[in-house]
Amino acid sequence: MHSTPPLDSLLKSRSTLIELIVAAIGLALGVNLLASAIAAHFEPSGTTILAIGAVLTLVSLIAIGRRTLATRSVARNLEGFLCFRHDPPNLISIPRYRYSEEIEQSLSALFAENEAPKKLWGSDPVHKKEPPDQALDIRLAGQTAAGKLIVEATEYFVLETLSTHLTDYFNQPALDSTKVRELTREDLGPLVFGNRFLDTFSRPMKERAAFVDQTMEDDPNNQHIVAAYGNGVMFSRFDLVLPEKATVTRLDKGLVSIDAPKFRMTLRVDFQGYGSVLPTDFYELYLGESSMDVRAYKVEASVTIEFKRFALLTRSGWEYHRWLDSFLDKLEEDISHETFLERIGWEAAITTARVVERSVAALEQKKAQPQAASGDT
């Protein structure tokens, strides 16, 4: 179930505010006539009337704005999960859960091209074998080499989802291409180089041994290839199409800010090594794994949007920012633990499984009864 779209709610409340202000102006004109009669009766000075009128007008506008406009700051917190086998500590790809499937694919592609992170993943895994202090092990899980790779892989997943979503959105013919800017790998140096997955997968194919022969034959300038796979490695061209004057800044590992004309969006990925609580029988019935051999970890992705004050006073340009709501819905669909279980119909599936299990048990019991009776005779 999708959450309330923040941009759509804001624009609707903005329209309501404008209607109220227009109504308030009409009301003010009527009140003004009454005030004039009162003023003529008590004969106060012109300065006093001006001051009282200004104060009342300002207070009224502030009250209407605060009651009508949605909050300028909106946060969407998404909780996903990843499942690992205990020994060896391999990541399990969860069918129909796009986040898990693509994290596993990204890790495999990175390891196929670079031995260093693969060795770090194996030598410093998310969970240690037989930790002397389980509480300490949980606190340090997010700080292991594998934990840091999970943060970077998840950040890459979010950024790649954003890149694809923006490209699709701004391909609409109704939008003016001169009012947007395309930021490429070269424009986003700190963002790219701060993420091993993004840096590796978006590096030009002619600079990578796995693709150099194919690149020279098919596309020497590497201009038309968007994505390619071969020998276990992956290429995916990365760019962000944003409204003009928008900027992208890496604030820290797993923390990225996008400053657009109408709002500022902050993307954050957090992995602390805390366990994720999955439904009973999920491991056995859906993954085909024993619950004793698998551990699930919680991964959090949060998006914070702060709408700019003066942007609310403008009517134009919002069509270049309306990708926000659909992007948040896409992230929720792909990452959210609850949305995934709802999409695969887990509650109905587990009910069906239990009914089938009881039915089979009942049939076997009925078959056993005649055999027992014939044995007695």
Rg for the chain, CA atoms, rounded: 29
Are residues 287 and 196 part of one domain? Answer: yes
In-domain check, residue 374: no
Q: Are residues 43 and 170 in the same domain?
A: no
Residue 221 lies in a domain: yes
State the pLDDT at residue 19: 58
pLDDT of residue 332: 95
Q: Do 62 and 77 lie in a common domain?
A: no
Helix (H) or strand (E) holding 183: strand 180-184
User: Residue 315: its pLDDT value, please?
Assistant: 79
Asked if residue 95 and residue 60 are part of one domain, the reply reads no
Note whether 189 and 325 are same-domain residues. yes
184 and 327 housed in the same domain: yes
With respect to residue 361, please indicate whether it lies within any of the assigned structural domains: no
The answer as to whether 363 is a domain residue is no
pLDDT given for residue 17 in this prediction: 57
Mean per-residue pLDDT pooled into runs of 10, the chain (377 residues)? 63 60 62 61 60 66 57 87 88 96 96 94 77 48 85 98 96 92 95 96 88 62 73 92 96 95 95 91 92 94 90 83 94 96 94 88 79 57
Do 61 and 96 lie in a common domain? no
Q: Give me the pLDDT at residue 82, please.
A: 97
Please report whether residue 183 resides in a domain: yes
Q: Is residue 362 part of a domain?
A: no
Q: Is residue 376 part of a domain?
A: no
Q: What is the pLDDT of residue 57?
A: 66
Please, how many CA atoms are within 13 Å of residue 367, restricted to the half-sphere of its CB? Answer: 6
Longest dimension (CA), the chain: 118
Regarding whether 130 and 115 lie in a shared domain, the answer is yes
**281 lies in the same domain as 328:** yes
Say yes or no: 53 and 131 in one domain. Answer: no
- The number of distinct structural domains making up the chain is 2
Same-domain pairing of 47 and 145: no
Domain span at residue 302?
A: 73-343
For residues 326 and 298, state if they share a domain: yes
pLDDT confidence of residue 136: 47
Q: Does residue 350 form part of some domain? A: no
Q: What is the DSSP letter of 244?
A: T
The CA distance from 334 to 97, in Å, is: 7
pLDDT for position 211? 82
Contact 299, 80 (CB under 8 A): yes
